[in-house]
Chains A and B, each alone.
Chain A
Amino acid sequence: MGMQKELQAAIKAILPEVDCVIGWGSGPDPLHGAPLFMRSEDDANRFASGFFAVNNPALFLPEYKGKKVAVVVKGCDARSVGQLLSEGLIKREEVSLIGFPCQGVVDHDKVAAALGEKGEMGEVTAVLEEGDALVLTLRGETVRLNKADVTAEKCMRCQYPNAHIADTFVGEKREPVATADDFADLAVFEAMSLEERQAFWEKEMSRCIRCYACRNACPLCVCRDHCVATSRDPSWLTQADSVKDKLFFQVIHATHLAGRCTGCGECQRACPVGIPVLLLKRSLARSVEKLFAYRAGIDEGTPPLLTFTLEEPTIKERSW
């Protein structure tokens, strides 16, 4: 029985106990999955795990407060669930987690870049997974891509491919891809001068359309309908189409996620114009990991920036 079938069996087994099971189904084209909310065996038959199951289903959990739901989680999704639990944003007894050994997910921007002049993603009519390769059919021809070349960055540095909290775990746990996060993505960025970084952000943010998909795709955004981005009372940002305001919002969002962001990358994936907004959060995550020895969503206890201790064990400012 393949992973897909095993997961479907696990989903069907838990269906009678829950309001719904959140997982993935197919999207509008063969390269895209979509969140799937399963309430029946028929729904469960439409469940599709694998390389295209990119969405983080933890995002939806707070909407189901007061109801019992099950959720199928990749390792990174489980981290988000972990963080939601530590912050009391969801209740443990209301959520049942189905884990599995995640083999990584696609990065659509990489696929688009790999296809280049051969065509657009929307022209792909069929996708086959053959071992380490993806075989795409478009314009009547086949294009072979190495999965490794079109895998999401977060998967390339994944330390937690097996949901670390799971009520049901389907399949054999796999070896992590990496043992530590070297934040190599930040090194590339930080090699730039401050002026270059400023210019980088100004250029990137200038195409922001302020749809706030980054914010709404974030499982840990708690302000939701009361965001300073659009609030007039307080009025912190103008509605002008200005890079300054757009970048200001990203900084607020990232700061609000310091020590909370688990690096699921949904903000960046959701951005329709491909702005690398995860960078800001990664930088803060590294600082928090260094300063407080805390990995959001993994380490238990109150997140360090949601509490106060006279002396942080890793900072030791009294013995300086």
Chain B
Amino acid sequence: MATNTAAAPQRPSCDASTPNPYMPYLATVVEVIDETPNIKTFRVVLQDADAMKSFTFQPGQVGQLSVFGFGESTFVINSPPTRMDYLQFSVMRTGENTQALHNVAAGDTIGVRGPLGNSFPYESMKGKDIVFVGGGIGMAPLRTLLLFMLDNRKDYGKISLLYGARSPQDMAFSYELPEWLGRDDLDCVLTIDREAEGWQHKVGLIPNVLLEMAPSANNCVAITCGPPIMIKFTLQALEKLGFAPEQIVTTLEKRMKCGIGICGRCNIGDKYVCVDGPVFTLAELKEIPNEL
């Protein structure tokens, strides 16, 4: 009975000092911004001042927001780590928990777990040109990296942003757009799907406008996020423009619960989007099974 004598794995244990990864920080909502008819932005501050002071994260990492009694959902921290007055999350209303979040007002207490997941590989992007392509709520994860790069502007080459939404009303962060458009160190292009009165910018689907903009793939990284159908055609457009899979970065959405690689639902093959993602290069995505 050889198997009986084989060294069995050690039984694991923990002690009182092991942190409980399921306990959220309590956080006060300091500001709620109505972005669009179905998106709200929440600015929160952890109630434990020391925790807030020592809270660190990388651009692209996510947090779990709780409304106790409803549940917990995952959102990207869309404020940059260079601006730590508050943590910002933007929430599109889609179900039970996001509805509960939309009912939250300034002064209310919610729960925050994080930071979770991986982050944008911004170190390897230093010295390169950057093209952001964001669609709808997909602008949220891009915002954190965009602001982080603008706060470390000298580390990067030319930075371009193509941001699209269905209509002007569906455009989140509209209050920031004048500043972005006005900066001479940022090439900002806005587009909407169909003509709308008073719209001064592009009209057309994001992949088409991107082809029109025709950014050079040379020494450039493209970062894209948005609805699945937009991502699909944007990836095609980028490849057409000569971007190699290693030069394209995107983020994935999956149903998540634990956020720490245990509960088992966000896997694609042996990759867990909650810990191995949500940020992947297209090259990495091509290596994993096709189950998006």
CB distance from B100 to the nearest CB of A (A): 11
Q: Which chain B residues numbered 66 to 110 have a C-beta less than 8 Å away from chain A?
A: 71, 95-96
> In the assembly, what is the distance between CA of A232 and CA of B98, in Å?
13
CB distance from A236 to the nearest CB of B (A): 13
Contacts of B95 in A (CB 8 A): 232-233
Contacts of A232 in B (CB 8 A): 71, 95-96
> In the assembly, what is the distance between CA of A232 and CA of B73, in Å?
13
A319 within 8 Å of B by Cβ?
Answer: no
Contacts of A235 in B (CB 8 A): 96
Contacts of B71 in A (CB 8 A): 232
Of the four ranges (under 10, 10 to 19, 20 to 34, 35 or more), the interface on chain B belongs to under 10
Contacts of A233 in B (CB 8 A): 95-96
> In the assembly, what is the distance between CA of A233 and CA of B95, in Å?
8
CB distance from B264 to the nearest CB of A (A): 16
CB distance from A153 to the nearest CB of B (A): 38
Q: Which chain A residues numbered 150 to 186 have a C-beta less than 8 Å away from chain B?
A: none
Flag A219-237 by CB within 8 Å of B: 1 or 0 each. Answer: 0000000000000110100
> In the assembly, what is the distance between CA of A106 and CA of B20, in Å?
50
Of all chain B residues, the one with the shortest Cβ separation from A233 is B96
CB distance from B175 to the nearest CB of A (A): 32
CB distance from A237 to the nearest CB of B (A): 14
CB distance from B82 to the nearest CB of A (A): 37
In the complex, how many residues of chain A place their beta carbon closer than 8 angstroms to a beta carbon of chain B? Answer: 3
CB distance from A304 to the nearest CB of B (A): 36
Q: Which chain A residues numbered 232 to 250 have a C-beta less than 8 Å away from chain B?
A: 232-233, 235
> In the assembly, what is the distance between CA of A232 and CA of B95, in Å?
9
Flag A260-284 by CB within 8 Å of B: 1 or 0 each. Answer: 0000000000000000000000000
CB distance from A30 to the nearest CB of B (A): 28
> In the assembly, what is the distance between CA of A231 and CA of B210, in Å?
41
Of all chain A residues, the one with the shortest Cβ separation from B99 is A233
> In the assembly, what is the distance between CA of A233 and CA of B98, in Å?
12
CB distance from B271 to the nearest CB of A (A): 25
Of all chain B residues, the one with the shortest Cβ separation from A235 is B96
Contacts of B96 in A (CB 8 A): 232-233, 235
> In the assembly, what is the distance between CA of A233 and CA of B71, in Å?
12
CB distance from A210 to the nearest CB of B (A): 17
Q: Which chain A residues numbered 196 to 232 have a C-beta less than 8 Å away from chain B?
A: 232
> In the assembly, what is the distance between CA of A235 and CA of B69, in Å?
12
Of all chain B residues, the one with the shortest Cβ separation from A231 is B96
Of all chain A residues, the one with the shortest Cβ separation from B95 is A233
> In the assembly, what is the distance between CA of A197 and CA of B47, in Å?
51
Flag A94-138 by CB within 8 Å of B: 1 or 0 each. Answer: 000000000000000000000000000000000000000000000
> In the assembly, what is the distance between CA of A232 and CA of B96, in Å?
7
CB distance from A294 to the nearest CB of B (A): 39
CB distance from B130 to the nearest CB of A (A): 39
CB distance from A39 to the nearest CB of B (A): 26
> In the assembly, what is the distance between CA of A233 and CA of B96, in Å?
7
> In the assembly, what is the distance between CA of A196 and CA of B71, in Å?
38
Of all chain B residues, the one with the shortest Cβ separation from A232 is B96
> In the assembly, what is the distance between CA of A235 and CA of B97, in Å?
12
CB distance from B177 to the nearest CB of A (A): 34
Of all chain B residues, the one with the shortest Cβ separation from A234 is B96
CB distance from A66 to the nearest CB of B (A): 25
> In the assembly, what is the distance between CA of A52 and CA of B71, in Å?
46
> In the assembly, what is the distance between CA of A233 and CA of B97, in Å?
10
> In the assembly, what is the distance between CA of A243 and CA of B126, in Å?
59
> In the assembly, what is the distance between CA of A13 and CA of B95, in Å?
51
> In the assembly, what is the distance between CA of A232 and CA of B71, in Å?
10
Q: Which chain B residues numbered 233 to 264 have a C-beta less than 8 Å away from chain A?
A: none
> In the assembly, what is the distance between CA of A232 and CA of B257, in Å?
14
CB distance from A269 to the nearest CB of B (A): 29
> In the assembly, what is the distance between CA of A70 and CA of B43, in Å?
60
> In the assembly, what is the distance between CA of A21 and CA of B148, in Å?
61
> In the assembly, what is the distance between CA of A263 and CA of B95, in Å?
38
Q: Which chain B residues numbered 134 to 157 have a C-beta less than 8 Å away from chain A?
A: none
> In the assembly, what is the distance between CA of A84 and CA of B69, in Å?
40
> In the assembly, what is the distance between CA of A117 and CA of B59, in Å?
64
CB distance from A240 to the nearest CB of B (A): 14
Of all chain A residues, the one with the shortest Cβ separation from B71 is A232
> In the assembly, what is the distance between CA of A235 and CA of B71, in Å?
12
Of all chain A residues, the one with the shortest Cβ separation from B70 is A232
CB distance from A290 to the nearest CB of B (A): 41
> In the assembly, what is the distance between CA of A79 and CA of B255, in Å?
40
> In the assembly, what is the distance between CA of A16 and CA of B96, in Å?
49
> In the assembly, what is the distance between CA of A233 and CA of B94, in Å?
11
CB distance from B142 to the nearest CB of A (A): 30
CB distance from A225 to the nearest CB of B (A): 14
CB distance from B9 to the nearest CB of A (A): 27
Cβ contacts A to B, 5 pairs, < 8 Å: A232-B71, A232-B95, A232-B96, A233-B96, A235-B96
- Counting from the closest, the 6 A-B pairs by CB-CB distance are A233-B96, A232-B96, A233-B95, A232-B71, A235-B96, A232-B95
Chain B interface (Cβ < 8 Å from any Cβ of A): 71, 95-96
Chain A interface (Cβ < 8 Å from any Cβ of B): 232-233, 235
